[in-house]
Amino acid sequence: MTKATLLILISMLVITSACMDTKENSESETITVGIYPYMPPYQYYENGNLKGFEIELISEIAKRMDKKIEFIETNYKYGNYIAARSGTVDVSISAITKTASREKDSIYSELYMNSYSSLVCIDSKYSRLADFEGKKIGIVDDTVYVDHAESYKKSVDFEIVKYYNYYDLNSALLDGEVDGALADYFTCKYFMKNDDDLTIIENTDIHYFGMVSSMGNEELITNMDEVLMNMYNDGSYEKLRLKYFEIE
Global confidence as pTM: 0.83
Structure confidence by residue, pLDDT tens digits, 56-70: 999 999 999 999 999
When pLDDT is averaged across residues 33-45 and rounded to a whole number, the result is 95
* Res 27: pLDDT: 61
Q: Which fold, 115-208? A: D-Maltodextrin-Binding Protein; domain 2 (3.40.190)
* Res 196: pLDDT: 74
Query: Which carries the bigger pLDDT value, residue 107 or residue 77?
Result: 107
Q: Does the domain spanning 3-112+210-244 belong to CATH 3.40.50.2300?
A: no
Asked if pLDDT for residue 207 goes beyond 70, the answer is yes
* Res 204: pLDDT: 85
Rounded-to-integer distance, Cα 36 and Cα 53, Å = 13
Asked if pLDDT for residue 109 goes beyond 90, the answer is yes
Per-residue confidence at 228, pLDDT binned at 50, 70, 90?
very high
When pLDDT is averaged across residues 89-103 and rounded to a whole number, the result is 93
> What are the start and end residues of each CATH 3.40.190.10 domain in the chain?
3-112+210-244, 115-208
* Res 76: pLDDT: 79
* Res 38: pLDDT: 92
For the chain, percent of residues with pLDDT exceeding 90: 73
Asked if pLDDT for residue 11 goes beyond 90, the answer is no
